[in-house]
Structure formats: C-alpha cells, structure tokens
A and B are shown apart, each in its own frame.
Chain A
Amino acid sequence: MSKKKLIFLIVLAADIVLGVIFVSKLMAASEKLSWAYYESDDVKTSSVLDYLEWEDFGTAAMLSRSYRIGAEVDEADEDLFKLGEYADMLFYGKIYEESGMQQRAQDCDARRSEIRKDMADYAALLDKMDESLENAIGRVN
C-alpha cells in the first residue's frame, strides 16, 4: 500500500469517528437549547409521578408550583401537575385560614373543588391527600 493511500485511509477513518462525535454533540446541543422548564430534573413529569406514587404529597406540591404560575407543561401530563397543585392548595389553604385571610382560604378551597371535579378518576388519591392534611394537624393537636 502506497504511503499516500495509507495517509488517506487514516484521515478518512478520523473523519468518520469525528463525524459521529460531531453529530452526537450537535444533537445534544440542539436538545439542550430547546429544553423546556418542565423537563428539568427537579420538575420533570417523572419526578412528580414518583413523589405521588410514594405519597410524598408535599414534595409533589412543590414541584407542581411552576404549573400554577403558568409554566408551560406537557398537555398529556397536566393531570399530574394538577394533583400537585391540589396538595399545595391544601397546605396553604390551612395557613391562610389560620392567619385570617379567609378570602384566600376560600379561593384555595374553590380551586381544590375544581380540581376534584375535573379529576374524578383520582378521587382516591385526592382523599389520601385530604387525609394527610388531617393527620398532619392531628399529629400535633
């Protein structure tokens, strides 16, 4: 094999390897640039789902808060974020009530009723959330 041919083959092999690396890097860059807030590690759907499955409603509530302020979420996963919102409304509703903000407490109750109505399939889980609040209050009284 001539020297030139050998050099050509080496450069060609390097081109192929680097080409694969380049394409993967390009895809990673494009994916990261088109990232959506709800896909970040701390608020992604799978995280909310995990916490709901573990009945860790407080954490699910926190992770769903961005949805409450109008953050873009995947339409198919909206229900999960609503469940988290329900838990958040439970927690803060009680605080508003205790601190004398009756109107805000009623707003939270109204939002909870709305979510309950929209998500009849999740009634059992919502009942568990209600129960968790009762337990939290009962634990210290």
Chain B
Amino acid sequence: MKCNTCGAEIGLTDEVCPYCGAVNTQSAAHLKEMEQYKDKSKKTKGKVKESIAANIPILVSALILVLLVIGTGVSSYVAENASLFRHRSSRAEAIKKHEEYSQILRQYLKDGDYAAFSSFKGYHVIPEYEEEYKEFEKVCDMVGIYCRAMNGIEECVLYGADSPRYGLDSDISSCQMGIENFYYEYERKLPDMEGDPYMDNAIDMKKKMDAAMKIYLGLDGGELEEYLASSSNQQEAYLEEVLGNE
C-alpha cells in the first residue's frame, strides 16, 4: 500500500509512514480504533435519541402550555376591549358614510325630532368633532342637553295607574337637574351659536322644552320664570308635589 502523504510504499501494519512520518490511516490498528470510535458514537447517538424520545411528551405539553398562556392572554385582552374595538369600527364606518348619515341627521333636525337625532348619533357613534360632521358640533351639544331634560320629564310623567314607580326619587332628582341644566346651558350657549346653521334648532328646542314644562309640569310664562329662579331644592320639591305618588 502507498502513503497518502508522500506516496512511498509502506506496510499494512505500519502506523506511521517510515519515510515522511505521516499517520497511516489505512493501518489495521487505526482502522480498529476507528471502528471503536464509530461504535461509541453510535451508542451515544442512540442514548441521545432515547433521551429525546423520553422527553417528547414533556416538551409537547410545555409547548402547549406556552401556546395556551398566549391564547388566554390574547382572548382576555380582546374580551376586555371588545366594546372599544366595536366603538372604533362604528366610528370609522360613520366617517366613511358621512354623506348618508349627515343627510339623515339634517332631516331629523328639519323635523325637530331631536330625540331621534340623538339616538341616531349614539347608535352610529357619530363623531361630531371630526371634520366630516363639524357642522353638527354645536347643535349636537344642545341636543344632548335637551334630550337629557326631555328624557327626565318623559320618565317621570308617563306611568300607569298600577305602576310600582321604582326609583321615583332619583327620577325626580334627575328630571330637576336635566331641566335646570337645559335652561342654564341654553342661555349660555345660544350666543355662541350665532351664525351656526342650526341656531334655529336651538331656539326650537327651547320652544319645545317650554311646551313640555307647560303640558306636563303646569309651568307657563311667569310660573316657569318663578320656578327657574327658585333654588334646586325648591324646584325638586315642586316636582315631587306634581309628579310624586298620588
């Protein structure tokens, strides 16, 4: 056989080349040693494979655990913020459909149906502060105040003879606050609405509020002025007298 390094003729049992000193990788001893290493390596690989196989269930379970922790966290976050997501999506849609919705809002204002205006605005999460709905910004504010007052009156006056009238005291109290707030804010905000396209609607709201005060609370002209000039407690006492249990 020949040396792999210098090419000289060497014996099969020579462990090194007698000419150049290079290791004879084809020698019987070397091959035997190699066989032993291979065998050892095979055994080690087998042990590693065995060890991995033994740990696979734990690894898989741990992986599932990690995924479940992430999934639970994400689900909790979505559930907690669902209303925010919906709110944002409705608002985005309201901006997208602003021409159609503005038309509907204008019609409600034209009809003087402020309750419907307020419901529509709330239902579609219309952002009056955005450029697309800027024309309604001031009137929206007034409508909100008007509706709170009207809702308070409606809640207190429409009930059947057999009604248990749960929460009457708080209803009367919120009715009084709503009315007081409306007249106060009307006086305060009307000058700001000078030049606003919907200023007439604010005036109309006052007209309707006066009508409601007259029909449902028996306050007209001088009586209404007197009522509004009285203290909050006196106003509440009057409403209790008119709207309280008979």
Contacts and interface: CB of A to CB of B under 8 A. Distances in A.
Interface of A: 4, 7-8, 11-12, 14-15, 18-19, 21-22, 25-26, 28-29, 32-33, 35, 37, 54-59, 61-62, 65-66, 68-71, 87-88, 90-92, 94-96, 98-99, 101, 104, 128-129, 131-133, 135-137, 139-141
Given A11-B65, A99-B211, A131-B160, A54 B112 contact: no
Interface string B55-77: 10110011011001101100110
A15 B65 contact: yes
A22 B86 contact: no
Contacts, number: 156
B158 interface: yes
Given A32-B83, A91-B157, A140-B242, 4 more contacts: A22-B68, A32-B82, A99-B207, A104-B113
A95 B211 CA distance: 6
B161 A131 contact: yes
Nearest to B57: A8
Most buried by B among A4, A104, A136: A136
Interface residues of B, number: 57
16 contacts: A8-B58, A18-B69, A25-B72, A25-B79, A26-B75, A28-B75, A55-B160, A55-B163, A57-B160, A62-B154, A90-B158, A91-B158, A95-B212, A129-B158, A131-B161, A140-B215
